[in-house]
Structure 1
Amino acid sequence: MGMWYDLISQYGYVAIYLLLTLGIVGLPVPDEVLMAYLGYVTSIGKLSYTLTVLSGIAGSVTGITISYILGIKLGEPFIRKYGAKLFIKEKAVKRTNRLFHQYGAFMLFICYFIPGVRHVAAYLAGITGYGYRKFSIYAYVGAVVWVVTFVSIGNHLGSHWRLIFGFTQKYMHSMLILLLIIIIIAISWYFFLKKKKGTRKL
């Protein structure tokens, strides 16, 4: 934690941006714990909540875009050959492939909430030829939700921000299911209102 504190104290929002970028690309940065810590720092007034969130989103978007471009330019042989050096395990590649088959492009949204998978999803999206527009809609919205969620949790937990580590390990799958349910309800409600509005015009 001392290293994070020093980097963030010295370089502020630039450090946040770089840490989140590198964490998404594949370096071993414990992203959720980092963001919870940042949330705590905002709660004591050392950093601006808004600028912290914006820096985190910018870093996440940059990181996942770099991964996507690498997937397009370098393809699967690059992952197979150099994945281990980027801390990307073969097991994570297989798991992400399986989830892509199950959830399609929506995987780019939920991948942030699954440690290990978020480091691989964008590479595979580039390798398998997802168009940039499709990629960006899911991946960038996911980045916003992910960063806001964990920085906000750290902000509300305050000095107890370290609890996020045990919490995410124990309840991550439950959180993911709850998030999916909320999204499905929101989308269904949106189309219901849209259909209702269209019926009134007729």
Structure 2
Amino acid sequence: MSKTILDLIIHYEYVGIFLALAFGLIGLPVPDEILLTFTGYLVYLGKTGFTLTLMSAFLGAMSGISVSYFLGCKLGLPFLERFGPRVGITEQKIEKSQLYFQKYGNLMIIIGYFIPGIRHISAYLAGIAAMNFKRFALYAYSGGLVWSFTFIMLGKGLGRKWRVVEQYFQNLGLYAVVTAGGVVLLVWLFYKIKMRRA
């Protein structure tokens, strides 16, 4: 993880967590999962409190994903295609995200948090698709809370071994992407079956 981001979190604590996640979800190259796991490690050390850490992370994620949604509404797909590659949002990622968004819709916004490269685009696509903001917020904020909680708890649980997550994401490749896709598909099928029974 970038030393600059680590320093931001260490020196500014909750404000640093908020800013790093907000800018990360807008699209800047911030290693979000690693950052969240590191904040969990800080909770483990007793340097930050769990509740305030979770709130800072959630509010940062909520702010970043909301800005992305409104950028999608106002600037549309051409903006994303033109400027996305400068921050690692490639044309291939955009196309893949569009495909997922068309197939899974609301669920994509929640599950997208757990798929690196996808969560940064899902909010833009929701804005481009003119999804109702209240509906978007319901799914996006719920997903943001679950995502933040999961990785903070992981960092807290791993303690001094938190860098295991960093190593995992550094080695993230096709296998992990396929696995994440499988998880999305299973959750989607479960959701469809539940809706039919209801």
Q: Give the TM-score normalised by structure 1.
A: 0.84
Match of 2:83 in 1: 82
How far has the Cα of 1:189 moved from its partner?
A: 7.7
Whole-Å separation in 2 of the counterparts to 1:183 and 1:37: 30
Match of 2:115 in 1: 114
Contact 1:113 1:172 in 2 (8 A): no
Contact 1:25 1:119 in 2 (8 A): yes
**CA RMSD, 1 decimal:** 2.5
Task: Find out whether 1:136 has 2:151 as its counterpart.
Answer: no
Match of 1:156 in 2: 157
Contact 2:17 2:57 in 1 (8 A): yes
Matched to 1:110, the amino acid is: I
Matched to 1:143, the amino acid is: G
How far has the Cα of 1:24 moved from its partner?
A: 0.4
Contact 2:43 2:50 in 1 (8 A): yes
Contact 1:96 1:120 in 2 (8 A): yes
How far has the Cα of 1:77 moved from its partner?
A: 1.7
How far has the Cα of 1:84 moved from its partner?
A: 2.1
Whole-Å separation in 1 of the counterparts to 2:181 and 2:48: 28
Whole-Å separation in 1 of the counterparts to 2:43 and 2:66: 27
Match of 1:199 in 2: none
Match of 2:24 in 1: 23
Cα 1:173–1:152 change in 2 (3 A) is farther
The 5 Å alignment of 1:39-58 reads 39-58=40-59
Whole-Å separation in 2 of the counterparts to 1:100 and 1:78: 18
Q: What are the superposed Cα offsets for residues 151-190 of structure 1, whole Å, 9 maximum, x if unpaired? A: 1101100000011134453656546755875787699789
Whole-Å separation in 1 of the counterparts to 2:193 and 2:54: 28
Whole-Å separation in 2 of the counterparts to 1:90 and 1:140: 26
Cα 1:61–1:84 change in 2 (3 A) is same
How far has the Cα of 1:146 moved from its partner?
A: 0.6
Q: How many residues align?
A: 193
How far has the Cα of 1:81 moved from its partner?
A: 2.0
The structure number with the bigger radius of gyration is 1
Whole-Å separation in 2 of the counterparts to 1:40 and 1:186: 33
Runs of at least 5 residues in structure 1 that lack an aligned partner in the other structure: 196-202
Matched to 2:41, the amino acid is: Y
Whole-Å separation in 1 of the counterparts to 2:192 and 2:158: 30
Give secondary structure in 2 for the equivalent of 1:154: helix
Whole-Å separation in 2 of the counterparts to 1:58 and 1:171: 27
Runs of at least 5 residues in structure 2 that lack an aligned partner in the other structure: none
Contact 1:68 1:123 in 2 (8 A): yes
Q: Quick one: percent identity of the two aligned structures?
A: 38
Matched to 1:112, the amino acid is: Y
Give secondary structure in 2 for the equivalent of 1:12: helix
Cα 1:184–1:47 change in 2 (3 A) is farther
Of the structure 1 ranges 44-53 and 77-86, higher mean CA displacement relative to structure 2 is found in 77-86
How far has the Cα of 1:6 moved from its partner?
A: 2.1
How far has the Cα of 1:137 moved from its partner?
A: 1.2
Of the structure 1 ranges 19-28 and 181-190, higher mean CA displacement relative to structure 2 is found in 181-190
Of the structure 1 ranges 70-79 and 3-12, higher mean CA displacement relative to structure 2 is found in 3-12
